[in-house]
Structures are given as C-alpha cells and as structure tokens.
Amino acid sequence: MAIIYSYPTVAPGTGDQVIGTKYYPDTEENKTVQFNVGQINSLGTTDYLETTVTLTNAQWLALPGTDVMLVEKAGVGKYIKVITLSVFFNPSGANFTWPNPLNVGFGGNPITNTQGIIAADAVGFGADKVFSVVPLAATLEDNASLFIGTLAGATAGGGSVQVKVRYQVLDITAF
C-alpha cells in the first residue's frame, strides 16, 4: 500500500466515494466500507432549507413601507430559524443607496422582530456587492413569515437585489 501523501489531492464530487469505518452495534464490529461524499455532506445539512429571492428594482425602490417576503410561514407550532443570510446587489444604472438599515425579520410592514440587519450604506455603490449578515440572537415567532424591509428613508439604485436565506423550521411537537 502506498503512503497516503503520495496520492494526488482533488476536489471531491458528491458522487465520489471515501473509505471509512462503520460500527455495527448488533455484532459490535467495525467494518471497512465506502461512503458517498454526498451522503456525508447531507449529515451536516440535514433539516436545512435554502431559498433565494430576487427583488426587482421596483420592489427595491418600494421597500420603505412595502416589505418583501423571503420565507412563507411554516404553520402553527413551527418557527423559522435563520442560519445564514447573504444579500447580492447587482446594479444596473444608478448606484444603490439606503439611508437606514435593512431589516430581515418577522412581522412585515413594519418588521417588528428583527433577525438580521444590513447596515445603511450612505455612500452608495455601482458595482456588484455581497453582504454577509450575521443572524441576531432574537426570539423566534410561531407561524410567522420572514421579510426584508426598512422602516423609513428612500432606497435608490438600479438593478436587482438577491437575498439568499438558509434556515431551519423548528417544530415544537418534534423538538
């Protein structure tokens, strides 16, 4: 058998196999087996959902007072928990600006329970820009939809805005 560092290093694909050990409790044996990389990956992302919502330029300009839904409510006894949140500004024409923070949270018109904040960008920008938003330590709401909006001030700029949310739906009957 060759020394392991003599093998080439490659980026794995979801269909690739790796060698590992599986424990069988009924026989109390460890057996050498192959694992699928995609199956291993799913262990770390089980129960996570992800969506990307594109705000048109008209929706962006109307944000003060007209929040945009990102995730539909999941039902009674179910709570949306934001894991990660990213925002991509794809300008076309006028620079993006907003004088007050953009809020992601529950409530809608206005957002009353903020889960993440995109700070105000008073300078503006006319090139692609991506914001990574850290979810806040906040109370979740039962059977509530998740929105993006701003409380006041005029949003400006041309182009589209994409919001990517990775989240879990927590069900208190199966917590």
Question: What's residue 81's pLDDT?
Answer: 95
Which residue did the predictor score with more confidence, 87 or 154? Answer: 87
169 Cβ contact partners less than 8 Å away, ≥ 6 residues apart: 47, 49, 74, 78, 79, 80, 81
- pLDDT average, residue stretch 16-27: 87
For the CA atoms of 100, 104, 106, 111, what is the dihedral angle to 10 degrees? 10
Specify the domain boundaries for CATH 2.60.120 within the chain.
47-174
pLDDT above 70: residue 131: yes
Distance CA 53, CA 163 (A): 5
CATH topology of domain 47-174: Jelly Rolls (2.60.120)
Distance CA 62, CA 56 (A): 10
Check if the beta carbon of residue 116 is closer than 8 Å to that of residue 104. Answer: yes
Check if the beta carbon of residue 60 is closer than 8 Å to that of residue 157. Answer: yes
pLDDT above 70: residue 141: yes
Question: What's residue 165's pLDDT?
Answer: 96
pLDDT above 70: residue 45: no
Question: What's residue 44's pLDDT?
Answer: 66
Secondary structure class of 2 (helix, strand, coil)? coil
Write down the pTM of the prediction. Answer: 0.76
